Amino acid sequence: MRATIREVAREAGVSPSTVSRALSMPEMVNPTTRERVLRAAQRLGYAPNRAARGLITGRTGNIGLIVPDLANPFFPSVVKGVQARAREADYAVFLADTDEDPTAEVGLIRVLGKQVDGLILCSPRAREEEIRDLCESTTLVMVNRRFGSVPSVVFDNVDGMRQAVAHLQALGHRRVAWVGGPRTSWSSRDRLRGLRAATAAAGMELVVAGHFPPHFEGGVAAADLIIASGVTSVIAYNDLMALGLLGRLRDRGVQVPEDMSVIGIDDIQMSTMSAPALTTVSLSKAQAGRAAVDLLISLLEQPEGVRNARRELPTQLLVRASTGVAQTN
Amino acid sequence: MRATIREVAREAGVSPSTVSRALSMPEMVNPTTRERVLRAAQRLGYAPNRAARGLITGRTGNIGLIVPDLANPFFPSVVKGVQARAREADYAVFLADTDEDPTAEVGLIRVLGKQVDGLILCSPRAREEEIRDLCESTTLVMVNRRFGSVPSVVFDNVDGMRQAVAHLQALGHRRVAWVGGPRTSWSSRDRLRGLRAATAAAGMELVVAGHFPPHFEGGVAAADLIIASGVTSVIAYNDLMALGLLGRLRDRGVQVPEDMSVIGIDDIQMSTMSAPALTTVSLSKAQAGRAAVDLLISLLEQPEGVRNARRELPTQLLVRASTGVAQTN
DNA sequence: CGTCAGTCTGAAACCGTTTGCAGTTACATG
DNA sequence: CATGTAACTGCAAACGGTTTCAGACTGACG
């Protein structure tokens, strides 16, 4: 059995109230008493029961984290960041994986929402009106999606796309294809927006190949369309899809980067291991996780005081071996 | 504000006790009353406050999951399994990542242990005596490690190694190297044990290359030793390391599988994407996660009743392109 | 020496549930 | 009709903390 506050009180010869104060508002008690209480607590290995504390304070000390698919290496990185930062701030993290199912997502938000002080939604799939509802009953922070005034952490996709296009242009490419992610993905739309702007500014032609599942297989599925479209370069919604492209292009005998330049987004670990290694727009995923936690905590501590509840993290093109000089035909 | 049991009681014209019973022990209340209560609860969107319930029942409805490194794709798969199964059983999952640090692991177990009904330790790094201590104060289930009578879920490494060795033998290999994982890893030792048995039975020579970090880089680091050792085949502690081997072997101009056959363990997604695709001993990771949750829950429900608190999951060699007929020189 | 402000401390109420116990009711039985 | 029994239901006491409020003590000051 764990020690209770009453036992500590008896051990220290004071009342439970004093113990409570000595631990959570130390300046309110006489230094001598405080010392005695702390010693007693130490001796008994006392740690306050979080459920009991939460019952009266209304705060649980937990935050929830909802991701669409842990199997996509993008998310574990974010989770690691969230996790580490939360631990520093003495919060515990509830994790839920929705398996890319928007309905499950909404359900999970509802049930998890009651057990936590706040929620972090990673690349949420839910519809806008649902999010609007939800964010009234729960404090939430979105990662990788921006919507209304809901607090969010996103990457500077526009600049990322600009860098990618500039790189391709410098290599002499005139036509670039876009392999999109899920139709409902905000970041996919945002990236396409950035891409449109960048290609227009560069005077390049953009071919949009449509929407694909954000997996390796999605990239595989898109590859043949890309080949048929006659472009010399392609940018995929994420690295996993870009690797799928790479795989299928190899099978089809299309040389990368000689015949086709391929760029991904995310910079997952795997992208350094492929042959050729993948040129990619790198996102600092763990940092996004940490930023989301920081934002959430500041929101919790001063519900109305946070002026600008948005963070935009920089992106950085990493040139590896999957991009090269355009074929001159 | 969320509805409390009192409001539901008032709405239904009964006492809080009745509401409580109608929800958690339905057979104890009159069907008519029960119906009225359920309706009222429905109308008010009532859900019991888990902290309050936990305070009195002593159970939180949470389980903790501790993994050494989410960046290793093995673990997200396990986490997904744990997650899914826990949700079915109406448990929420606390996740913690220790970054491969045994000290952090012990600390996390202690703090997380107070907030959950039970813990699942994935490939624990902690020392045996510490685990012994810990498992007295917390119910825990270990995955990928077996120790004393501590409940555990492991893979049948011995049979996996047997399959791998039989495969290599059939391809004409006589000498095989082992690239081990961390020194403290139980599963690394267990796999080596299986490998020793299998090679001895097959009359093959085994070269042990020592211990390496369980990452891509660990495999890279081991590659040159392997080349120098003059073997024709190598088995790595996990797929990530096998992929590292593949990468470095390619850089060194060693052809796989012509000059060297490479086998990994885990069957992570990435292993199908490499060139050549990796032959590997496949482990059903999500199933391990589910099994761990089942085991933990049965342990919680009948603390002493569980006779055999061990599960051993089968393994299956998947032959892909990284293994081939031995070089006859 | 009486008064007052200021500093600490303790008693008690409360947070939202569950649960042992006792009370109420209905019904069957003798 | 009295009584025993079974089936429900409500009261009140927990669970382990926090927080309000008032009281006790201290020292300073008039």
- Kindly report, residue by residue over B54-64, the tens digit of the pLDDT: 999 999 999 99
Over residues B203-251, the pLDDT tens digits come to: 999 999 999 999 999 999 999 999 999 999 999 999 999 999 999 999 9
- d(CA A156, CA A179) in angstroms, rounded, equals 19
Q: How many Å separate Cα B324 from the centre of its chain?
A: 30
Domain boundaries, chain B: 5-48, 62-154+285-312, 157-284
The mean pLDDT value of chain A amounts to 94
Residue A329 has pLDDT above 70, yes or no: no
Determine the pLDDT at residue A274: 87
What dotted CATH number matches B62-154+285-312?
A: 3.40.50.2300
Which DSSP string corresponds to B56-90?
Answer: HHS--SEEEEEES-TTSTHHHHHHHHHHHHHHHTT
Determine the pLDDT at residue B125: 87
Q: Is there a contact between A318 and A282 (Cβ–Cβ < 8 Å)?
A: yes
Query: Who contacts A37 (Cβ-Cβ below 8 Å, separation ≥6)?
Result: A8, A12, A14, A18, A19, A22, A23, A29
Helices of type H across B114-176: 128-137, 157-170
Output A71 or B306, whichever has higher pLDDT. Answer: A71
Helices of type H across A89-156: 102-113, 128-137
pLDDT band at A2; cut points 50, 70, 90: confident
Class of domain A62-155+286-314 (CATH, top level): alpha beta
Please name the amino acid found at residue A293: V
* B4 CB neighbours strand D below 7 A: no
Residue B1 has pLDDT above 70, yes or no: no
- Whether residues A80 and B94 touch (CB distance < 8 A) is answered with no
For A129, counting Cβ atoms within 10 Å of its Cβ (0-12 exposed, 13-18 middle, 19+ buried), the class is exposed
Q: How far is the CA of A86 from the C1' of C16 (A)?
A: 27
Q: Which of residues 19-38 of B touch strand C (CB under 7 A)?
A: 20-21, 23-24
- d(CA A204, CA A161) in angstroms, rounded, equals 13
Q: How far is the CA of A21 from the C1' of D26 (A)?
A: 21
What dotted CATH number matches A157-284?
A: 3.40.50.2300
- Taking the CB of residue A251, how many other CB atoms lie within 10 A of it? 10
- Whether residues B51 and A54 touch (CB distance < 8 A) is answered with yes
Same fold, A62-155+286-314 and A157-284: yes
Over residues B78-129, the pLDDT tens digits come to: 999 999 999 999 999 999 999 989 999 998 998 898 899 999 999 888 899 9
Determine the pLDDT at residue A308: 75
H or E element at residue B38? helix B31-44
Determine the pLDDT at residue B302: 80
Over residues B262-289, the pLDDT tens digits come to: 999 999 999 998 889 999 999 999 999 9
Fold of B5-48: 434 Repressor (Amino-terminal Domain) (1.10.260)
Mutate to test the interface with B, among A59, A266, A269 (most CBs of B within 10 A): A269
Residue A242 has pLDDT above 90, yes or no: yes
Residue B71 has pLDDT above 90, yes or no: yes
Searching chain B, which residue's CA lies closest to the CA of residue A276? B275
Over residues A146-188, the pLDDT tens digits come to: 998 899 999 999 999 999 999 999 999 999 999 999 998 999 9
At residue A278, φ and ψ (nearest 5 deg) are: -90, 130
- The 3-state DSSP composition of chain B as helix, strand, coil percent (nearest 5) reads 50, 20, 35
For residue A142, is it left (φ>0), alpha (ψ between -120 and 50) or beta?
Answer: beta
- d(CA B292, CA B78) in angstroms, rounded, equals 9
Q: How far is the CA of B115 from the C1' of C23 (A)?
A: 39
- d(CA B55, CA A187) in angstroms, rounded, equals 42
Determine the pLDDT at residue A1: 67
Instruction: Encode burial over A282-316: b for 16+ CB neighbours within 10 A, e otherwise.
Output: bbbbbbbbbbbbebbbebeeeeeeeeeebbeeebe
* B54 CB neighbours strand C below 7 A: no
Determine the pLDDT at residue B274: 87
Residue B329 has pLDDT above 70, yes or no: no
**Residues 66-95 in B contacting A (C-alpha not used; CB under 8 Å):** 70-71, 73, 75-77, 79-80, 83-84, 87, 92-95
At residue A20, φ and ψ (nearest 5 deg) are: -55, -45
